[in-house]
Structure 1
Amino acid sequence: MVGASPGQLVFLLVAGLVAGAINAIAGGGSLLVFPALLAVGLNPLAANVTNSIAQWPGYVGIVVGNRRELREQRRRIVLTCIMAALGSVVGCVLLLVLPGSVFDAVVPALVILASVVMALGPYLKRWIGTPDPDAPDRTAWLLPAVFLAGVYGGYFGGALGVILISVLSLLANDTLVRLNALKGLLSLVAASVTVVIFSLRAPVDWTAVAILAPTTLVGGYLGARIARRMPDAVLRWFVVVLGLAVGVYLLLD
């Protein structure tokens, strides 16, 4: 990003705003920022770690906005946050210790996986049906699943929120509104781990972070305000198509 043109800076500003809005409305905004960082010249590893750090403020905004829905979930929050944090640590360590060639080989599959999960999200919810708030969580399955989602988030992180809400919808019995709030908190926990570890050891482009972090926060705030008026299917499929295109491009490159 050193010596970036004004056009590239504006491009990232717009990408951050749109990604923040997508995260608030549909989820998966990181799949928009990742190719944007590739487009301005970052290599896949640098784009991944920079993207992870830049998304953090947006998750803070989501948690603050959903704090009412997080009440009375203390036990679930404590257990799942611990697993998300541990998984994220493992994912970050894997990213930093494995050769870059492993990431280059794996990331196309992760991008495609995240895009497919996002595409199937509405169908999964329809298949699951309305959760029963009175039934117990499937804790024996929920905690390992959240741990694995945390590993994914620490290693790549694109569309982590989509994966988390799918896991929570399947294995935790509560209203989708409250589970969505928990998804935001778990995303924040995983992102906080990546911020600490990547800040110390990873090739973060701090210029790009300085541009993206505030714009994702603003975009998330604006997206939350228009979420009731804008059909998320349009944004969801835009991100799905973009993610699949990026995954195929990286696979063939």
Structure 2
Amino acid sequence: MDLLGSIFVLVAGLWAGTINAVVGSGTLVTFPVLLALGLTPVVATMSNAMGLIAGGASGAWGYRRELKGRGRQLLRLLPASLLGGITGAFLLLNLPEKVFHFVAPVLLVLALLMVVFQPRLQAWVRTREENPEHAVRDKRHGILLLVLVYLAGVYGGYFVAAQGILLVGILGIFLTGTIQNANAMKNILVLGVNLIAAVSYLLFAFDRINWLVVLLIAVSSTIGGLLGSKIGRRLSPPVLRIVIFALGLVALGFMIANLLE
């Protein structure tokens, strides 16, 4: 990778770390850049997921105040999220790469749809918060919550992108508290999935990891995670969604081009 490419990765990592701490889906920033630089989808996914661990940790630390009193809930949900991450990483490592070439565009479209409809999702969460008598109760639907968190982990372990948005929606609907509480818990669960997936990559796909990309994204996303946790509530979500959607379309274009070759 030349100097210009490294700069692009650094900037993308900074932006992704910031977005992940605030709304999630930062992978839709880094993934298109890595594809444009010539990395294969599987290598890009693995290297990106490992690099974003540092940013996820800094973002989780920045939101630590919103986690106060949520320890018991996290202990209940984290195993399901980790198991989902293991499942997703297993699928990524063991399914033929051709499967990823076909599945990744579909997952990317799904992630982009989640980004586009995020305002409606957040409005749904706010309605649930303002009208708790209409909310789904934790005790009555505990198993369903665990299943959904597990499936979100599978999605994250396989593709990473927009897992955070999916989790915020799930947690905001099923758990009591504010959107910021859900976001703080999302940061921990996503971090857990990325960590467990990274261990799988290290054990079973060490030679398919681009360590320069991991280093660049780790450094810049750490800074981005700290920035996002501090100033994220002041950012304009509509602008972020537009840019993420545009970059996601670029990634989709690269994927389709690879399929047509």
* TM-score normalised by L of structure 2: 0.90
Map of 2:155 onto structure 1: 152
CA-based RMSD of the aligned residues comes to 1.7
Residues 1:177 and 2:177 aligned together: no
Measure, in 2, the Cα distance between the counterparts of 1:90 and 1:9: 32
Map of 2:4 onto structure 1: 7
How many aligned positions are there?
A: 250
* 8 Å CA contact retained: 1:141, 1:171: no
Residues 1:194 and 2:191 aligned together: no
> Could you list the runs of 5+ residues in structure 2 that have no partner in the other structure?
none
Residues 1:244 and 2:241 aligned together: no
Amino acid in the other structure paired with 1:12 = V
Map of 1:85 onto structure 2: 82
* Aligned-residue offset at 1:133: 6.7
| Structure (1/2) with the larger helix percentage | 2
* 8 Å CA contact retained: 1:28, 1:160: yes
CA 1:11 to 1:84, structure 2 compared with 1: closer, same or farther past 3 Å? same
> Which range moved further: 122-131 or 74-83?
122-131
Residues 1:95 and 2:92 aligned together: yes
CA 1:222 to 1:69, structure 2 compared with 1: closer, same or farther past 3 Å? closer
CA 1:212 to 1:67, structure 2 compared with 1: closer, same or farther past 3 Å? same
Residues 1:21 and 2:6 aligned together: no
Residues 1:33 and 2:30 aligned together: yes
Measure, in 2, the Cα distance between the counterparts of 1:201 and 1:40: 24
* 8 Å CA contact retained: 2:36, 2:254: no
* Aligned-residue offset at 1:239: 0.5
* Percent of residue pairs bearing the same amino acid type: 37
> Could you list the runs of 5+ residues in structure 1 that have no partner in the other structure?
none
* Aligned-residue offset at 1:39: 1.3
Amino acid in the other structure paired with 2:146 = L
> Which range moved further: 121-130 or 33-42?
121-130
Residues 1:216 and 2:213 aligned together: no
Residues 1:57 and 2:61 aligned together: no
| 1:101-140 equivalent positions in 2, closer than 5 A | 101-128=98-125, 129-131=127-129, 136-137=137-138, 138-140=141-143
> Secondary structure of 1:28's partner?
coil
Measure, in 1, the Cα distance between the counterparts of 2:144 and 2:233: 33
* 8 Å CA contact retained: 1:62, 1:220: yes
* 8 Å CA contact retained: 1:88, 1:155: yes
* Aligned-residue offset at 1:141: 1.4
Alignment match of 2:167 (pick from 164, 168, 183): 164
> Secondary structure of 2:117's partner?
helix
Measure, in 1, the Cα distance between the counterparts of 2:178 and 2:184: 10
Amino acid in the other structure paired with 1:222 = L
1:165-203 Cα shifts (integer Å, max 9, x gaps): 111122223211111110011011101101111122221
* TM-score normalised by L of structure 1: 0.93
* 8 Å CA contact retained: 2:21, 2:187: no
Measure, in 1, the Cα distance between the counterparts of 2:225 and 2:214: 16
CA 1:67 to 1:225, structure 2 compared with 1: closer, same or farther past 3 Å? closer
Measure, in 2, the Cα distance between the counterparts of 1:71 and 1:222: 21
* 8 Å CA contact retained: 1:133, 1:175: no
Amino acid in the other structure paired with 1:90 = T
